[in-house]
Structure 1
Amino acid sequence: MTSPRIPQNFERPFARRGLLKGMGAAAAFATVPGALAACSSSKSSSSGNAGSATSPVTFGSNYSDASPKAAFAALTAAATAAGGPKVTVNTVDHNTFQNNITSYLQGTPDDLFTWFAGYRMQYFAAQGLALPIDDVWAKIGGNFSASVKTLSTGLDGHQYFVPIYNYPWVVFYNKSHFAEKGYTVPTTWDQFIALCQKMKADGIVPLAFADKDGWPALGTFDILNMRINGYDYHIKLMKHQVPWTDPGVTAVFDKWAELMPYMQTGANGRIWQDAAKALEQKQAGMMFQGTNQVAAQYVSDNANLADLDFFPYPAINPTYGQNYMDAPTDGFMISKKAKNPAGAKAILEYIGTAAAEATFLKTDQWDVGVATGLQAPSYDAVQTKSAAAIAGCKAVAQFMDRDADPAMATAMISIIQKFIDDPSTGNITSLQNSAEQQAKAIYTS
């Protein structure tokens, strides 16, 4: 999946390296593994050669799971069929790809690469590792809303990214399971806890949960934060305009601690795919994660996708209700060292159209398109409901590791895993202090 994850050893060539050294960042500067180095089938060049719009291009992809890999293959084939150059896709396991993305871009990268919108894109643009594509946006800009263009724009005001889809983070369940047990979809926190208690009494794990990869639990923090404190608070916290020792953060951890008895134990040793299987097999009653993961896993496992349904995370603070959610946007960028930038731009000009998104979504049964005027060819119930859920929000976040400084997101992965192991009040205080100390070092350097 193109999951919204931050690499555990993310390279940080800023003045803030001092902090990362204390976090074991030396490992981040190791050479790229052979699998990722192989992403570049030919030597890249920074000589300024524009290349040719008809010459072949290479595309580094982290769409390594079977279902998204097939959707991406259909997209690139359609781009070539529409008059673009031939595309050679170099697929690498998503964890390997993302754990070594900086070394990859600094070495001999492919012409194009898969990545994420917002700050995750802005980071590489600021490092001079991505090519500005204002000329592409001059042609495709009318296909997207102003908010989507903003997500594709670097801190310098130039565009670097072409989106393809987004997807909501919501609470999944099996309709037949709820019907069989007489469960009712909750809309408030009290109803949610009561449902969890009922499931536990019935011998069912209320919430499937996994965090071995580090990033999934960031989503739980995000949604609790937005439900309790609102979207603006979330953004301010991600920018360290609110301290991590703030009572609002304490409230997030306290509420999470209340939920922990109903979450699948041993999360730090479990990958999210296995948590999804527990939901598929009805060993667990619910799972909070993105459609890009859960629904896609149902497809990969040949599980009953028609039985899968979801609801927005229940309201906690009436002031904010269910107004916000994480809805990450994924897409594509051009390497600054691209050997054939003209060919790469030709591909992105096609991808940045409603027709391209429609082609992608013929195979993709879990994401939703972001182009205006998109006529989705085959939205299933999950996708239709996803589009409505996102449209119904007053604002959507991009996930902690996309809204925050990369080093802070990395720090929070470790802190949240420690919380999962020990959600006691004393440990929460200690972890908040640790988060604030690291935030001060990261954001003031």
Structure 2
Amino acid sequence: MAQSSSEHRISRRALLRGTAAGAGAVALPTLLTACGGPSKEVKIGSNASDAVPRKAFAEVFKAYEKKSDKGVKVNTVDHESFQENINRYLKGTPDDVFMWFAGYRMQFFAQQGLLADISDLWEDFDGFSGALKAQSTGKDGKQYFVPYYYYPWAVFYRKSVFEQHGYEIPKTFDEYRALAKRMDKDGLDAFAFGDKDGWPAMGTFDYLNMRANGYDFHISLMSGKESWTDPKVKNVFDLWRGLMPYHQKGANGRTWQEAAQSLAQKKSGMAVFGLPHPGQQFSDADRSDLDFFPFPEIDSAYGQDAVEAPIDGFLLSKKSKRQKEAKELLKYLATPAAEEKYLMRDPNNVAVHKEASTSSYNTLQKKAAELVSGAKQISQFMDRDTRPDFASQVMIRAIQQFINKPDDIDGLTKDIESQKKTIFAAS
């Protein structure tokens, strides 16, 4: 097991399959194992295996060790393995503290009794909004999560490419589609697109659904309360089908990193991504050329009100033998200083603490913060807003099937609805 200072990045196929393992999925080989041995050191399970966040977290934990005179030992595992094995990891011998996600993903493990209640810490937290507290609260009303940063999803592009061709930022879906056609004529793939890991394309579906049918319908659909054969849902897939000719071909065999690189290489014109995705693939020299715009309006009744902005943070394992020491670390991670230390090294996320300084923010971070602060509703992402087994066992395959064969929308939605009924009936 590799051990080092940590980092971040959310690979969803894993989080999907891993959480699904506790909901009826076939168990995978145990690749994720906690660091063993008695010690006063607080052990952290990290999914931060990419270079940028890994170094950033190393600085954070080093600062904590210096401040507290207490040790921290980081158990870093690559993204996919971490998420794929998270369920068995928590039921085995987990590290004291581990990195994970807010909302549904946190509640799933809280309901299984695998997380320690940290409501006592929240009594002294004063820099988090009510919305952040809600995303950190289990269905039993107790708090289990310390939020650390968030990052919005939007449509990313290179300013120089838009300037070179005279492209204008689209505000409506019709303008968006017209721009894609124009890019196609100019020899560009309008949309950089890679769905090999199964989750990246979910962001496009989420935005299409929220823009066409509104946030409330989207969340209700993710909760299993709406039918996937509803004409509203079929319309979402139909809107997406109209854009498919302008997406990179062979998306199911391309990683999100490769898609982001094609945007950096000016082979593609746009990409629906979260802030860290293109941010980590652009060189420092090109970073100032990266920009984004909100996903365009489809129905004026909903405008661009909703923003997809997942929240990441830390959880305390129920099985931890170092609860007191772990809570001391969590207290530190909930401070503005801890977030500031991280963001000085990773410019691809935004702090959640209201008192965290934004002085080190680059242009994109400032724009991202404005986008989220101005949102009327905030979603977490499909694989965080629905059941993990439904996301992993049904939606990954369904969306990849749609990418390969976008014309059979009736058959696709009928199949999704049938499986949804079975899965949600089991809850």
Shorter-chain TM-score category? over 0.9
Q: Is 1:431 aligned to 2:422, yes or no?
A: no
Unaligned runs of 5+ in 2: 1-7
C-alpha distance in 1, partners of 2:316/2:233? 37
C-alpha distance in 2, partners of 1:183/1:11? 42
| 1:146-225 equivalent positions in 2, closer than 5 A | 146-225=130-209
C-alpha distance in 2, partners of 1:4/1:91? 14
| 1:403-442 equivalent positions in 2, closer than 5 A | 403-410=385-392, 411-424=394-407, 427-442=408-423
Provide, for residues 85-117 of structure 1, a one-character-per-residue CA deviation record: whole Å limited to 9, x for no partner. 211111110011001100111111111110000
Partner of residue 3, structure 1: 10
Partner of residue 290, structure 2: 308
**Structure 1 residues 377 and 344, CA, compared in 2 at 3 Å: closer, same or farther?**
farther
Greater shift in the superposed pair: 203-212 or 367-376: 367-376
C-alpha distance in 1, partners of 2:109/2:66? 30
Return the TM-score normalized by structure 1: 0.91
Secondary structure at 1:139 match in 2: coil
Displacement of 1:42 in angstroms is 2.8
Secondary structure at 2:208 match in 1: helix
Aligned residues between the structures:
417
C-alpha distance in 2, partners of 1:157/1:283? 48
Q: Is the 8 A contact 1:3 1:293 kept in 2?
A: no
Q: Is the 8 A contact 1:113 1:332 kept in 2?
A: yes
Q: Identify the structure with bigger relative contact order (alpha carbons < 8 Å, sequence gap 6+).
A: 1
Q: Is the 8 A contact 1:207 1:287 kept in 2?
A: yes
C-alpha distance in 2, partners of 1:322/1:84? 47
Q: Is 1:232 aligned to 2:216, yes or no?
A: yes
**Structure 1 residues 346 and 259, CA, compared in 2 at 3 Å: closer, same or farther?**
same
The letter for the 2-side match of 1:5 is R
Q: Is 1:62 aligned to 2:62, yes or no?
A: no
Q: Is 1:77 aligned to 2:62, yes or no?
A: yes
Residue of 337, 351, 356 corresponding to 1:374:
356
C-alpha distance in 1, partners of 2:382/2:28? 26
Provide, for residues 128-173 of structure 1, a one-character-per-residue CA deviation record: whole Å limited to 9, x for no partner. 1111111221222x11011100000011111110011011100111
Q: Is the 8 A contact 2:17 2:388 kept in 1?
A: no
The letter for the 2-side match of 1:259 is L
Displacement of 1:207 in angstroms is 0.5
Residue of 118, 126, 134 corresponding to 1:133:
118
Partner of residue 116, structure 1: 101
**Structure 1 residues 393 and 11, CA, compared in 2 at 3 Å: closer, same or farther?**
closer
| 1:204-353 equivalent positions in 2, closer than 5 A | 204-298=188-282, 301-302=283-284, 304-353=286-335
C-alpha distance in 1, partners of 2:263/2:120? 45
The letter for the 1-side match of 2:418 is Q
The letter for the 2-side match of 1:186 is P
Q: Is the 8 A contact 1:4 1:401 kept in 2?
A: no
Displacement of 1:344 in angstroms is 0.9
Secondary structure at 1:98 match in 2: helix
Return the TM-score normalized by structure 2: 0.95
CA RMSD of aligned residues (A): 1.5
Q: Is the 8 A contact 2:150 2:312 kept in 1?
A: yes
Displacement of 1:311 in angstroms is 0.2
Q: Percent identity?
A: 48
